[in-house]
Structure 1
Amino acid sequence: MAAPPQLRGLLLAVNALLRKRRYHTALAVIKGFRNGAVYGAKIRAPHALVMTFLFRSGSLREKLRAILKATYTHSSNLACFVFTYKGLCALQSHLQGETHPVHSFLAGFLGGLLVFRENNNINSQINMYLLSRVLFALCRLGVEKGYIPEPKWDPFPLFTALVWGLVLWLFEYHRPTLQPSLQSSMTYLYEDSNVWHDISDFLIYNKSRPSE
């Protein structure tokens, strides 16, 4: 079925507007908002689904509400950050007439302060995800620029051993310092595996099902 002439005309006008280089910067900010929302939902929804049904108690409605809330928070925060970051970068370039590397840092700094400043589980997970990758990248950049001597052997095995040793030490003796979702995962792996009563909660279930 063909689209009505009015709709075809509207689509042609919109497409013509989108192709105009004059509005490219503003439209890029808007599309950044769109991509942030979509990417945030794609990342958070599966993660929230798995973690909620594995570790969260409550009714099905409560679990679904928690999944939707986590997905919305991640999606909206990321959308707002991309919008803010791209907008601030464009503003700085417009005011100075050219682009400088410091623009990215300042825009990211202000965007992070405005969007991710609330200390909640979603923002904590996002920031910790980024922190690990930033530290890796800074180490590589330091080697690339000559600030850090290039190692003569692969340091990754030592790094791995240090990370796992520290996280298990923290879990066993300073558990409240770890993020709740990590505590839940490690409890399942290292504590729940110490308890069983029969074949049902040894192989089939993690814990015995309540008596009916």
Structure 2
Amino acid sequence: MSILTNPLYRPLFEILKSARNGIVYGGKLRFSHALVINLLYRSGPMLPRLKSVLEATKNHAEVLAAFAIIYKTCILILRQDNFLGEKNIGLIKFISGCFGSWIVYSQHFPIFHSGITHQITLYCFSRVVIALGKIILDNYLSCQQPKFRNSHGDLIKYRDLNNQQQKKLKNIIYNKSWKYFAVIVWGFVMFIYHFQPQYLQSSLRHSMAYIYDVELDNWSNWRDFLGLF
């Protein structure tokens, strides 16, 4: 039996595998993003710009790998019988996520790149809000059993709908809620950008200035207007 297939070392290799995957995913994601941003929107010598791309890639990979190591290690420790045990796996993952975030994402420790941890956390926040909305909706439909009108105009309870009808109904509600969510978010974004732009994230603020503050630009010919050099 090799060390890789030995059950005794399985938890350790799971931690290392998660860290490896975090490095690969973070590297691929940040490299492509940083490369495009540097090539399209920044000027200057090419070598410093490429160094900036590699630095951003390294920082992103470090963040994902570090969180993976801490998270998986906490799970390994807390699921032991001396702590919370196997029966509390949901609580264990919540605590592990909080502890890993306290070390990596909360910026309590000046170890990891604050801009990257900020971006990742905001990205996750939007997904958490949408997921929680769907969870609340599903529980409401299952517990309250509201009535809906079918194609014939008859009232029918949620539990009396077949699986396809329930899925279709949920998709309709999801789509409508997303429309209102998008309207409110972008309304607030443009409102805050107009009155107090300094409170928005720097990358968002800069991209909005580039796209929307065109009244500040001057151009005398088509070359200037199209940004051709």
TM over 0.5: yes
Verify: 1:163 aligned to 2:185, yes or no.
Answer: yes
2:100 aligned residue: 111
The SS at the match of 2:40 is helix
2:58 aligned residue: 72
Question: Structure 2 unaligned runs (5+)?
Answer: 108-112, 147-169
Report deviation, 1:46: 0.9
Asked whether the 8 Å contact 2:104–2:117 carries over to 1, the reply is no
How many aligned residue pairs are there?
192
Q: Alpha carbons of 1:56 and 1:120: their partners in 2 closer, same or farther (altered >3 Å)?
A: farther
2:86 aligned residue: 98
Asked whether the 8 Å contact 2:75–2:96 carries over to 1, the reply is yes
- RMSD over aligned Cα atoms: 2.4
Return the alpha-carbon distance in structure 2 between the equivalents of residues 37 and 203 of structure 1: 38
Paired letter, 1:73? N
Asked whether the 8 Å contact 1:40–1:74 carries over to 2, the reply is yes
Verify: 1:142 aligned to 2:128, yes or no.
Answer: no
Return the alpha-carbon distance in structure 2 between the equivalents of residues 176 and 85 of structure 1: 34
Return the alpha-carbon distance in structure 2 between the equivalents of residues 97 and 183 of structure 1: 46
The SS at the match of 1:19 is coil
**Correspondence for 1:30 among 3, 6, 16:** 16
2:221 aligned residue: 198
Return the alpha-carbon distance in structure 2 between the equivalents of residues 99 and 168 of structure 1: 47
**Bigger RCO of structures 1 and 2 (CA < 8 A, at least 6 apart):** 1
Paired letter, 1:172? H
Q: Displaced runs of 4+ in structure 1, greater than 6 A?
A: 147-152
Answer with 142-151 or 48-57: which moved more: 142-151
Q: Alpha carbons of 1:145 and 1:133: their partners in 2 closer, same or farther (altered >3 Å)?
A: same
Asked whether the 8 Å contact 1:40–1:75 carries over to 2, the reply is yes
Return the alpha-carbon distance in structure 2 between the equivalents of residues 29 and 129 of structure 1: 24
TM-score normalized with structure 1 length:
0.81
TM-score normalized with structure 2 length:
0.75
Question: Structure 1 unaligned runs (5+)?
Answer: 1-12
% identical equivalent positions: 32
Return the alpha-carbon distance in structure 2 between the equivalents of residues 36 and 66 of structure 1: 20
1:6 aligned residue: none
